[in-house]
Each structure stands twice: as structure tokens, then as C-alpha cells.
Amino acid sequence: MTINLLRDIGVTSLPTKPNEIESKLICFLQFGWLFTEKAAREIIGENVLCSGGYSKNLVKIVKMLFLSRTKSLEAFHRLSCLGIQHLSTAPKIAVVLSGSGVYDGSEIHEACATLSHITREGAEPICYAPDVQQMHVVNHVKGAPADGETRNVLVESARIARGNIKPLSGLKASEVDGVVFPGGFGAAKNLSDFAVNGDKCKLNSEVSRVIKEFHSAKKPIALCCIAPVLAAATINGVTITLGKTDDGSGKWPHSGAIDAAKSMGAKMEMKGVMEACVDKKNLIVTSPAFMYEGKFHEIYDGIGVMIKTLIGLVRK
């Protein structure tokens, strides 16, 4: 039995402030050493087997995991009863959605690429969205607002998250390792009012709190497509990319956002769709995504570069 087995059955973290005896056990658990009952007694001390508290629970876990040599899920489910909720080194990455659909919410392909690349990198995505009404609802066939319709950002985002989503008000930097903001007009309409007010925009209060909290905690933030303007509006002098200026090819139709971000104090790097911009000082990673009129696989692969870079910063 090694820590890989524990990860396989969903045990994802150890105590953050272990005592001396717990520390010994954690050390052996993390390095995957096999236990015998004799070895366990020698490592943790004979007296612990009869003591109360958390250490006694860890002894039970050691005996259950290493002496029985079983993969029984029923047995592992007892871990929560013993006070252990998590035991893995897999990073937890928050994904902040802004609805469902490019013109009034999250760009679905960008959101799905984000989730796919997070799990491919061995991390766990956790979806969040603000529990607020959308700025408006857009008929995606006509590309025009649908009169008389209203939709909730959290409810719509749940479509992408397959129902497994939490209100953004519950996101705390202390509980995850990084955060990603996919693009789509929802970032400029529901997470902020950039679509209306440009460089004078204001952010949703929870979005602003989250970015400031992660930045203060020195935990990396990734944003793609138009979402980097959220960082520009929050972090003074941040370096981001919104793609490239219009070169006459028609491939960069939203390059006007570059000037707006500069007006907000952001430093700009010109990056292609398959590239990511890294602000090492502020731990901000950005990529153009659908700021570029590209093919689906180009957007997918470019977001992969961004997520790989983000996870690399998390694991440093």
C-alpha cells in the first residue's frame, strides 16, 4: 500500500498541524512505507495504541490500511469517522464560471478545455459562479438580446459543471491552490461591467474579493480570452495578454480591449493563441483563447499551455 492507493480511493490530505507522533506517521504515509504491526508500534510508541485523540485515530488508520492490505471502499469510508477528510497531494483548482454561452456567459469550449486540462494535469477542478442575475440573455441563434428573459449566472453555469457547482461567495483562497477564469462575454457582463464601461469598469464584489484574496495569498490566477481585464482592473501594473493587435488578417477582432486594459494600468504582451503570458511577480497566467478567430483545437491547446503553466506554479 502506498499513498497512490489512498489517492485512488479519494483520501486527499493529511492534518495541517500534526503533533510529533502524527508527524512520524504522516512521514511514513507520504513516502509509501509498508507497515507491520511491530513496525507501527516501534515508530509511534506502545503507549499511543491506548491513548485518546487524533493520534489514536491515525493508529487505527495505519492498522486498517497497512495490516489488512485491503482496498475495500467500505473500510476506507470509515476514514471520515476517524477525523480524516483528505490525504492527497493533488492540487485543487477553483474554476469561476459566468454563465453558459459565449455571448452572455462563459465561453463553453474554453470552460470545458479548462476543466479537461486541469484533470489531465492531475489536479481537481471545483466550479464556482456568482449567484446573481445575468446582465441580459442573448439568443445565440440571432446573436441579439432576448427581450423579457432573465437568467441566473449560478444556475446557468451549473450546466457546464454538470450540476456540481458552488456560489462564488463560498470560495476561499485558503481552501484551494489556484483559480481560473475562463472567458466569454459573461466575464465582461456578469463578472464585471467591462462590456458597458470599458476601462472604467467595476467588478462584481465577489470576483474582486477572490482576485485580491488569491493575489494576497500568493496563489496563482489564470485568465483567458477577455477575462484578463478582471486582473487589469484589480492588480496594479499586472502583465497580461489579450492576444495581438489587429494585423489586418481579421484574426484578432477584439484587439480594442488591449487599449482599454492599458488604460487601466496593465502591461501588455503580444501572444499567439498557442501561447501563455506569465507575470511571475504577481503569479498571473493569461492566454488569448477566443480573442483569436481560431479553430477549436487551437483554442483547446492554447488553454492547455495556460493550465500547465498554472499547475507548475502551484507545485513550485
**CATH code for the domain in which residue 186 is found:** 3.40.50.880
52/102 same-domain check: no
Residue where a domain terminates, one of 58, 82, 106: 82
Based on the residue annotation, tell me whether 127 is a catalytic residue of this protein. no
Active-site annotation holder among 127, 201, 224, 225? 225
Average pLDDT, the chain: 82
* Percent of the chain clearing pLDDT 70 (strictly above): 72
- Binning pLDDT at 50, 70 and 90, where does residue 19 land? low
- Whole-number Å distance between alpha carbons of 296 and 77: 41
pLDDT in tens, 235-280: 999 999 999 998 889 999 999 999 999 999 999 999 999 999 999 9
- Binning pLDDT at 50, 70 and 90, where does residue 61 land? low
Domain residues for the domain of 9 are: 3-82
183/259 same-domain check: yes
The set of residues, in sequence order, having a beta carbon less than 8 Å from that of 108 and lying 6+ positions away, is 100, 101, 102, 160, 184
Nearest to 154 by CA among 138, 125, 131: 131
What pLDDT does residue 7 have?
44
191/56 same-domain check: no
pLDDT in tens, 32-43: 443 444 444 454
Residue where a domain terminates, one of 27, 47, 82: 82
What pLDDT does residue 6 have?
41
Least confident of 52-66, 247-261, 265-279, 295-309: 52-66
226/250 same-domain check: yes
- Binning pLDDT at 50, 70 and 90, where does residue 82 land? very low
Higher per-residue pLDDT: 8 or 119:
119
What pLDDT does residue 62 have?
52
Q: Confirm whether 235 is domain-assigned.
A: yes
What pLDDT does residue 247 have?
85
Residue where a domain terminates, one of 82, 101, 133: 82
What pLDDT does residue 148 have?
92
pTM score, whole prediction: 0.75
Mean pLDDT, range 75-99, rounded to an integer: 66
Q: Confirm whether 87 is domain-assigned.
A: no
pLDDT in tens, 88-134: 568 999 999 999 999 999 999 999 999 999 999 999 999 999 999 99
Q: Confirm whether 103 is domain-assigned.
A: yes
- Whole-number Å distance between alpha carbons of 32 and 291: 46
The answer to whether 307 touches 180, Cβ cutoff 8 Å, is yes
- Binning pLDDT at 50, 70 and 90, where does residue 198 land? very high
Higher per-residue pLDDT: 66 or 218:
218
What pLDDT does residue 70 have?
39
